[in-house]
Structure 1
Amino acid sequence: MKKIAIIGAGPTGIYTFFSLLNQKTPLSVVIYEQAAEAGVGMPYSDEDNSRMMLANIASIEIPPIFQTYLDWLREQDEAHLARYGVEKSTLHDRQFLPRILLGEYYRDRFLTLVKQAKAQGFDVRVHESCQVTDIEATPDGVRLWTEGTPVPERFDLAVLATGHVWPEEESTPRSFFPSPWSGLMEAKIPPCRVGIMGTSLSGLDAAMAVVIQHGRFQEADDGHIQFNLDEGSEALNIVLMSRSGILPEADFYCPLPYEPLTIVTGQAIASAIEKGSEGLLDRVFQLMVQELERADPQWCQAIKLTTLDADSLRDAWFADRLQHGPFNWAISNLNEVERNKRDKRTVPWRYTVLRLHEAVQDIVPHLNEQDRERFNRGLARIFIDNYAAIPSQSIRRLLALREAGIISILTLGDDYEMEVQADKTVIVAQGQRETFDLFIDARGQQALKTKDLPFPTLRKQLQAAGDDIPDVGDDYTLLQPDELRGRIAFGALPWLMHDRPFIQGLVVCAEMGEAIAKACSQPASKARRRLPSIAD
């Protein structure tokens, strides 16, 4: 019986396990999870999230595991859902719900998977509160060590599904949190001046984690939200900041699953790649222009799309938001989005850009250094802004904090300085010096390199082969050096972001899990060639 190790039981590990059940021959599967409960995943655990934090993915988008998220929710007790502010009678498949609830769904699905796997003849072992400390690939398999166990266990294939990686909280003073998931949920935050680096959903969630210690939100029947500050917390002041000072837009209505693109097809992208790296970015941009003109000629004319290129589109994209200011734009955009949801109206250009990011991503490993940098500065920012739209409820809560005079936004610009001191953090930007009693870095996951791997032996094996970035095939198995080929499936997101900058989200986790499961029966058919990225 082939023996598989899955390291990490978050979404990537779960979808890999789910896909392995499609194997005709039963397998031996050993699952390692460093958290107390396998199947939840850090982004959805009750230790790292509050009930205020919403998942920005709805049931209609979540790949089901035996049953959809919505069907699972409808089976839950009304009183249990009510504790999260969810009414069972109003559930629908486009609803954004608390992350902790989604974590409960994945925990339940994981337990169901274990039961089903055993029924199919699989040998399954689950190790919770168990940290894998080292991995070594050998010609006859993979050796794996866990904390407190000197003797390694041998496997035919090891799957790294370790998810996001955040800095250790012990290495920083408690006036500074290197991420919203570095002890912020358990910390007692005094009413003080709080700085938050990042204006995306992670930044807003960090703000919510702070304010719920000092007041409460109250929602009226018409949907308007008010924040009531506790007596004694009047000193609370929160500043969100980013280079641009731009807030994300609210999630917009569109057909799901995605309708196919007409011009920027997989074949068109492959053809553009075959012509070589020189001029690849500009060739693909012209295909994008054609797709957008076909979908929404009025919008294209309004922004003068035919006069723009892969560099200047970014300025045109953000121009209106910069002109109107973040909060005014948030109000306008929220009203538009909610109106479109009621009318089930799709804004063609927004929907087209949403579908384009996945198609265009395939060119990233083939771009030369100059065009990789151009892509990161331009199109990547547009795509991320578009697909990282956030729940309307998060916007409403932000506006409530604004009305209460608690929150503001600071535009840093490209040239700013940040100094983390023992009891404060100082930001110097636009000629102004800002001091914060407490600071939270909420910029999200950064791409990591081989040197950042937490497994010493595997790290040395890859470094000896000269791989600064793990070289993986289309089934995510390591291709180099030869003794590692086909032995380790690399589903750890931070190390894949160099070639696939948008490789985040539950849909991607499911796709990765399906691809990795194929590695049990067949080798990778091709490599993902990479060139240095702007972060290298």
Structure 2
Amino acid sequence: MRPRIAIIGGGPTALFALQALISSDNPLSIEIFEQFGQIGPGMPYREGLNDPRMLANIASREMPPLRMPFAEWLREQDETFLSRFGIARDAIDEAAYYPRLALGAYFTAQLAEIVARGRALGHQIELSPHTRVTDVVPGDAGSAVRWQRKGRGGASVHDHVLIATGHDWDDPESAASGLLSPWPASRLRMLANRRIGIVGSSLSAIDVAVAIAAASGTFDTIDGRTIWSPGEHAGTFSVTMMSRNGMLPEADAYYPLPFDPLPSLTKERALEEGQSGQAGLLDRLFALLVDDLARLDPTYARAIDLKTRTVETYAAAHFAERLAVDPFVWAKRNLAEAERLNRQRRVTPWRYAILRAHEVFECVTAELSAADLARFHQHLKSVFTDNYASVPHRSIRRLLALHDAGRLEVERVEGEVGHLGQGAHFDAIVDARGQKPRKLAEIGLPTIARTARWSKRSGNDRFRLGFAQPMAGTIQCIAIPYLLRRYPFMQGLVNAHELGETAARCILAQAAARPARPSQVPEPPRGLAMAG
């Protein structure tokens, strides 16, 4: 009997998992459940949820390929398709950033090719759109996936289940704060010509500002300079972006791929330090980072007196110069520097070092003690987040255009931003801070929420959930919101690729070791405590 595999969620992570699964020499039975009508794009790239002007935060060259690399696929599209997304054929480049909806079309097309390839290889692949999974119940004959589809309920038994549900946003209608959600983006057009506050200053917040500005006026490029002109009814339209530090993100800077390893803080060294024990692990890793930064960029090290810095004091020194300058002055200066370095294909040594260190810390944060993980989140994470969350140059130009037109400001706020009563000078406030970490108790699958726990596993098994009651097969959670507490850097397509492939390897290893069992829908286990 073929191993039966359920993938819950039909976004990029599911596509990467499916592509890896069909490499199996043994025939598999795979079903993808997706609550929306389209399988492939996922929430960040889906039509209807995103505005055509919203840019993906990853360059083509960084995107893990599916059946065909993205830029190569773009070159095969006709002029009608390219013009729909404002893409000039002669400007297609591996280093360029493209609209999210263009990536969504790519994922949809790649899904069709992967499915066709998998079926040609003898795998059974079933796609189930408009199907909301309501529970997953583990049992000794497999796990029952319970679902609702167009008012009809059902269940099917699978040997292996991948929970890959992707982004999970609060329902803005039920949020007590009164803050508006940026999704779906079509709702942002209703905020045109009004005074808008935006919580956050990352690319998500920039996308919100650009979408509302485009509904209130027009962006144009004249003599290489981006300008914004108000529409007929723009009136007092304005945007204020609010964040704790009052900074704007930096423009994407050049770096080579693949990354060169750091001299001291390598993944191998970090894992060795982890094996030496949790006590003092964060401080040992930080000391290695300090040594590498001092060696690779002594000017930067002297400027912030790096050798005297600790985990608790480094970020303040790192951001001090930037915080002392008007954010738009800094943004203009930083954009010019990034454009020059991209033309010259040169790196800023400290930026490139922090970018590489981010990958090292990413592989060991799950090994930190609870106290060190809290220290990392409070004191160090912002340096890495700011570095890898740099944004497309076009986005910075649009922000500068809005500011030059007198319509955009950045405000530093203390504490949490509440509803409109806290900011009566806004007609509406949009919460654009991005995905929040979730607990398993919030996963929306009652049996999993009640009985599952994170297991202390490594390698290809590290995303497997543990259960007190014995069960057949595996259940893995590779939904990013539920991984963020243990893996704080788990974001984007590169991680989606790693998650999908890792989960697929786990399944293929298990399937090779254990034959599939006959179908029998199990009942939910009772009385087991959940560890979130």
TM-score by length of 2: 0.91
CA–CA distance in structure 2, aligned partners of residues 502 and 174 of structure 1? 27
Kept in 2, the 8 Å contact 1:13–1:161? The answer is yes
Tell me which residue corresponds to 1:50.
51
What is the RMSD of the two structures over their aligned residues, measured on CA atoms? Answer: 2.0
Letter in 2 for 1:307: T
State how far apart, in whole Å, the 2-side matches of 1:183 and 1:484 are.
42
Aligned twin of 2:208? 206
Structure-2 residue corresponding to 1:459: 449
Alpha-carbon distance in 2 for matches of 1:190, 1:74: 35
Distance 1:173 1:253, change over 3 A: same
1:66 alignment partner in structure 2: 67
> What pairs up with 1:30-429 in 2 under 5 angstroms?
30-147=31-148, 148-172=151-175, 176-177=179-180, 179-182=181-184, 184-185=186-187, 188-222=190-224, 224-413=225-414, 416=415, 418-420=417-419, 425-427=420-422
Question: Cα–Cα, structure 1 residues 286 and 176, in superposed 2: closer, same or farther, change >3 Å?
Answer: closer
Q: Structure 2 vs 1, CA of residues 130 and 434 (structure 1 numbering), >3 Å: closer, same or farther?
A: same
Letter in 2 for 1:507: V
- The alpha-carbon deviation at position 88 of structure 1 amounts to 0.4
1:477-518 Cα shifts (integer Å, max 9, x gaps): 213335357521111111111111001111111111111111
Per the TM alignment, residue 262 of structure 1 is displaced from its structure 2 partner at its CA by 2.3
Supply the AA of the counterpart residue of 1:510.
Answer: H
Aligned residues: 507
Amino acid at match of 1:501: P
Question: Structure 2 CA distance, aligned partners of 1:419 and 1:335?
Answer: 36
Q: Which amino acid aligns with 1:214?
A: S
Contact 1:249 1:389 in 2 (8 A): yes
TM-score by length of 1: 0.91
The CA distance in 1 between the partners of 2:294 and 2:175, in whole Å, is 50
Change (3 A) 1:175 1:459: closer
CA contact (8 A) 1:166 1:182 kept: no
Report the alpha carbon displacement of residue 211 of structure 1 after superposing the two structures with TM: 1.3
Structure 2: distance between partners of 1:206 and 1:73: 26
Structure-2 separation of matches of 1:406 and 1:187: 16
Deviation of 1:285 after TM superposition, in Å, equals 0.6
Q: Give the corresponding residue for 2:523.
A: none
Distance verdict in 2 for CA 1:485–1:344, change over 3 Å: farther
Task: Report the Cα offset of residue 221 of structure 1.
Answer: 3.4
Displacement of 1:449 in angstroms is: 0.6
Aligned counterparts of 1:496 and 1:206: Cα–Cα separation in 2: 26
Give, in angstroms, the shift of residue 289 of structure 1.
1.2
- 2:435–2:481 contact (8 Å) kept in structure 1: yes
* 2:497 is the alignment partner of 1:510: yes
The aligned counterpart of 1:496 is 483
Letter of the structure 1 residue corresponding to residue 421 of structure 2: V
- 1:471–1:480 Cα contact (<8 Å) kept: no
* Distance (Å, rounded) in 2 between the aligned partners of 1:80 and 1:74: 11
Give the conservation status (yes or no) of the 8 Å contact 2:143–2:472.
no
Q: Is the 8 A contact 1:289 1:306 kept in 2?
A: yes
Partner secondary structure for residue 249 of structure 2: coil
Q: Partner amino acid for 1:259?
A: D
Q: How big is the shift at 1:59? A: 1.3
Task: Indicate how the Cα distance of structure 1 residues 502 and 408 shifts in structure 2: closer, same or farther if over 3 A, else same.
Answer: same
Structure 1 residue 390 displacement after superposition? 0.3
Q: How far apart are 1:402 and its partner, in Å?
A: 0.3
* Higher mean C-alpha deviation, range 130-139 or range 291-300: 291-300
Tell me which of 459, 467, 470 is aligned to 1:474: 459
Q: Which is worse superposed, 337-346 or 292-301?
A: 292-301
What letter corresponds to residue 156 of structure 1 in structure 2? Answer: D
Whole-angstrom CA distance in 1 between matches of 2:410 and 2:120:
54
Equivalent residues of 1:158, 1:488 under 8 A apart: yes
| Structure 1 counterpart SS, 2:394 | helix
Please give the per-residue CA displacement for 1:403-461, whole angstroms capped at 9, x wherever unaligned.
11111111013xx35432xxxx133xxxxx55421111011111111220101122122
1:204 counterpart letter in structure 2? I
Partner Cα separation in structure 2 for residue 484 and residue 405 of structure 1: 62
User: How far has the Cα of 1:184 moved from its partner?
Assistant: 5.0
**In structure 2, what is the equivalent of residue 522 of structure 1?**
509
**Identical counterparts, % of pairs:** 36
Cα distance in 2 for residues equivalent to 1:138 and 1:92 = 50
Separation in 1 of the partners of 2:409 and 2:152? Answer: 50
Q: Distance in 2 between matches of 1:157 and 1:346?
A: 44
Taking structure 1 as reference, are residues 190 and 69 closer, same or farther at Cα in structure 2, changes over 3 Å only? closer
CA distance in 2, matches of 1:481, 1:382: 39
Name the SS of the counterpart of 2:218 in structure 1. Answer: strand
Distance, in Å, in 2 between the alignment partners of 1:248 and 1:517 is 35
Instruction: Determine if contact 1:185/1:209 at 8 Å carries over to the other structure.
Output: no
After superposition, give the CA deviation of every residue in 1:127-180 in whole Å (9 maximum; x if it has no partner): 111111111111221101111444310000111110010112442599741x31
- The verdict on how the C-alpha distance between 1:285 and 1:484 changes in structure 2, with shifts beyond 3 A counting, is farther
Distance (Å, rounded) in 1 between the aligned partners of 2:342 and 2:192: 39
Structure 2 gaps of 5+ residues are 512-531
User: Quick one: structure 1 residues 472 and 143, their matched pair in 2 at CA, closer, same or farther if it must change by over 3 Å?
Assistant: farther
Retained in 2: the 8 A contact 1:477–1:486? no
Contact 2:6/2:158 (CA < 8 Å) preserved in 1? yes
Contact map agreement 1:478 1:484 (CA 8 A) in 2: no
- Check whether the contact 1:9–1:41 (CA below 8 A) recurs between aligned residues: yes
Query: Matched residues in 2 for 1:485 and 1:474: separation?
Result: 20
Distance 2:57 2:416 in 1: 31
Does the CA contact (< 8 Å) of 1:50 and 1:185 recur in 2? Answer: no
Which letter does structure 1 place at the counterpart of 2:476?
A
Question: In structure 2, how many angstroms separate the alpha carbons of the residues matched to 1:419 and 1:411?
Answer: 14
Counterpart Cα distance in 2 of 1:297 and 1:23: 50
The one-letter code of the counterpart of 1:158 is V
* Distance change in 2, residues 1:332/1:485 (3 Å): farther
Q: Deviations over 1:187-208 (max 9, x none)?
A: 5224222111000001111111
Inter-CA distance 176–38: structure 2 relative to 1 (3 Å threshold): same
Larger RCO of the pair (alpha carbons < 8 Å, separation 6+): 2
CA distance in 2, matches of 1:288, 1:214: 46
Of 285-294 and 328-337, deviating more is 285-294
- The one-letter amino acid paired with 1:439 is I
**Alignment-mate amino acid for residue 283 of structure 1:** R
Provide Cα deviations, 1:360-402, integer angstroms capped at 9, x if missing partner: 1233223233322221122111000000000010000000000
**2:426 corresponds to which letter in structure 1?**
F
SS in 2 for 1:117: helix
